[in-house]
Structure 1
Amino acid sequence: MMRAMLLAGAMLLPASLAAQDHSGHGSKSEPAPEMDHCAMGHLPPEQCPPQDEPEAQPAPEMDHCAMGHLPPEQCGKREEREPTMDDGMAGMDHDSHGAMTDKSAPGAAPEDAVPARALEGPRHAADAIWGREAMEPARRELARGNGGMTTGMVLVERLEARIPTDGGKTGYLWDAQAWYGGDLNRFVLKTEGEGEFGGAVEDAEIQALYSRAIGPFFDLQAGVRFDPEPDSRTHLVLGVAGLAPYMFHVDGALFLSDRGDLTARVEAEYDQKITQRLILQPRIEAEFAAQDIPKRDIGAGLTKVEPGLRLRYEIAREFAPYIGIEYEAKLGETADIARAGGEDPDGFKILLGVRAWF
């Protein structure tokens, strides 16, 4: 049965091919072009006849004068012709590619120029749609919400007990400030002092300052300072406070007293985060005097320096107890005055305190 089916299929195949319409193929059948196997790379070179090689054309001579490679005195007079792209490329100063900043066409305005039509409309584009009266309150609110708002803060930077390592009397110290105002103008109130537990306050001062921002990171401060202890005296204050490079908090001021004494103080501190809550703070304070102040046992020059370390843990961001150590040293003539009075001019102190703000 299978053989009969194959035989029938073989007989029908020629009949179907003969029935196809070959009229569209043309009356004369064109012979297919002979394939050039040598040109197509199908045969090795030794089996192909030699081919006539085209005559090599000499390379065009380079015109060094047109390309700007030679100075004008070494080039003859040339005929005037229309400039081409090659002329523009040849005239380019390739040595100045690195210094090119303006890519505008010759005669055009520089890239950073402001078109005149940019200044034809209103200062605020929204005014053209909604009107100035409707947009002015919105702009004031935007400025207030982005730096123009009035806020305040109270910061107790140091409130600590100071335990001398040489067995002296335990003392205390406070250092606090408060401010109220905006980003540019503020009223600042500062106070600090120290004494011994069970004794009188040895030093105390209160400063009332006007603070004005003079840059993104620094404020200029000016005002008055009143010292109730050790003797009542008033000072004019001029100083700066802010954030120095590498995140150092700096506070420096000059003080001119009502008795003509000129002194200065510089404080610098840095918060090094060990964790998000554990912070190590190196701190240094130095004091200077332009002249001797006998009533305060101060000599001219660098009078005192206090470097120290405080390690605090922020139980909350607003409250952080700390421990630390500080070296306090009177220097120069001030140290001589202390020795003459039977006082040790330097020594280490263990610190136990708290830092808080609200």
Structure 2
Amino acid sequence: MRARLPATLALILCTGTAHAADGGTTGGMDEAPVAYVGGMPPVMDHMLYSHALLDEFEARANSHGGQFRYDGQAWFGTDYDKLWLKSEGTVGTDGRFGDGDHEVLYDRAVSRYFDVQSGVRVDIDAGPTRAWGAVGVEGLALYFFQLEATAYFSDRGAAARLQGSYDLLLTNRLILQPQVEMNLYSTNDRARGNGRGLSDLDTGLRLRYEWHRKIAPYLGVTYTSSFDQAASMARARGQRVHGVNVTAGIRLWF
């Protein structure tokens, strides 16, 4: 999250005297003030920025097969107000698109490290489409853990998602990242394989090398699991309940 310049500091930066090439100033106290468009100095935290991150773009493989997974997000706005887009999903060896989660959120900064987000989530993949209202928080928790906690509501009940990750710098470019994502639901949804209570878990440990800051290939190990009623639904469909995967991918941002 970008640090915000206090208004007084921004004013000092904008109205400071210019320095000539010989090291002296170009004017003194009698010099006319700088003219700004609209008569006001620019405010840094009202400037527009954009950012996109493809956090996971990876292939997963184990003795029973494999799948491709992506997880990305992008935002546009100021330091205080942003429009967020989030999307994630998987593609199996059969070409079936699953776990499709797509969100459009309004984001408002409420502190130096945390934002509140609200909007809509739509589950679109090979299964039935589901729509949810969403509200949550995202930011840096104690010791700079990246944290997302979101609640969802629809006519089918409620759901919640908790995500967390941490970047452990082994060197300036070699980074070890533990990650976890948990999904909970208030009711069963057999058509989508979601079970009441803790439904599923996706966690991993990835080692990436930032040979360019915006491009970082990585290797890792991931673990996925279904629980309780979601596990019973998976067994009934002949699907595996637990899985450990060797993972290789690339992380991109711009």
- The TM-score with structure 2 as length reference comes to 0.82
Which of the numbers 208, 216, 231 marks the counterpart of 1:335?
231
1:298 to 170, 182, 194: 194
Which of 246, 249, 253 is the equivalent residue of 1:350?
246
TM-aligned CA distance change 1:218 to 1:130, over 3 Å: farther
Q: Does 1:236 align with 2:137?
A: no
Q: How does 1:196-275 map to 2 (within 5 A)?
A: 196-229=92-125, 230-257=127-154, 259-275=155-171
Gaps of 5+ in 2: 1-10, 16-29
Aligned to 1:323: 219
The DSSP-based 3-state class of the residue aligned with 1:336 is helix
Paired AA for residue 239 in structure 1: G
C-alpha deviations, 1:27-75, integer Å up to 9, x for none? xxxxxxxxxxxxxxxxxxxxxxxxxxxxxxxxxxxxxxxxxxxxxxxxx
- Report how far residue 252 of structure 1 moved: 1.5
Deviations 1:231-265 (A, max 9, x none): 122111111110000110001111123x4231111
Structure ranking higher on relative contact order (CA contacts 8 Å, 6+ apart): 2
- Aligned partner letter, 1:159: F
Q: Name the amino acid aligned to 1:299.
A: G
Corresponding residue number in structure 2 for 1:162: 60
What is the percentage of aligned positions where both structures have the same residue?
34
Q: State the number of aligned residues.
A: 226
- Is 1:310 the counterpart of 2:206 in the alignment? yes
* Larger-Rg structure: 1
Partner of 1:90: none
**d(CA) in 2 for partners of 1:133, 1:270:** 45
Q: Name the CA distance, whole Å, in 1 between partners of 2:120 and 2:33.
A: 44
How far apart are the structure 1 equivalents of 2:58 and 2:216? 12
CA distance in 2, matches of 1:333, 1:189: 31
The offset of 1:340, in angstroms, is 2.8
Distance 1:294 1:196 in 2: 19
Give per-residue Cα distances to partners, 1:131-159, cap 9 Å, x unaligned: 99968957531x23xx2211101110100
Q: CA–CA distance in 1 between the matches of 2:131 and 2:32?
A: 55
Tell me the amino acid that sits aligned with residue 51 of structure 2: M
Shift of 1:130: 9.7
User: Where in structure 2 are the equivalents of 1:86-165 lying within 5 Å?
Assistant: 139-141=40-42, 143-144=43-44, 147-164=45-62
Q: Which residue of 1 aligns with 2:177?
A: 281
| Greater fraction of residues in strand | 2
Q: Distance in 1 between matches of 2:35 and 2:212?
A: 44
Which sections of structure 1, spanning at least 5 residues, go unmatched? 1-123
Deviations 1:88-113 (A, max 9, x none): xxxxxxxxxxxxxxxxxxxxxxxxxx
1:218 to partner: Cα distance? 0.5
Of residues 230-239 and 274-283 in structure 1, the stretch that sits farther from structure 2 once superposed is 230-239
Q: Write the letter of the residue equivalent to 2:61.
A: I
Q: Report if aligned partners of 1:195, 1:201 keep a CA contact under 8 Å in 2.
A: yes
Contact 2:89 2:100 (C-alpha < 8 Å) held by counterparts = yes
Per-residue Cα deviation, 1:76-97 (whole angstroms, up to 9, x for no partner): xxxxxxxxxxxxxxxxxxxxxx
Q: Deviations over 1:158-215 (max 9, x none)?
A: 0000102xx2222001101110011100011111101213412122122111000011
CA contact (8 A) 2:156 2:187 kept: no
Q: CA RMSD in A?
A: 2.3
Q: Is the 8 A contact 2:101 2:122 kept in 1?
A: yes
Question: Corresponding residue for 1:25?
Answer: none
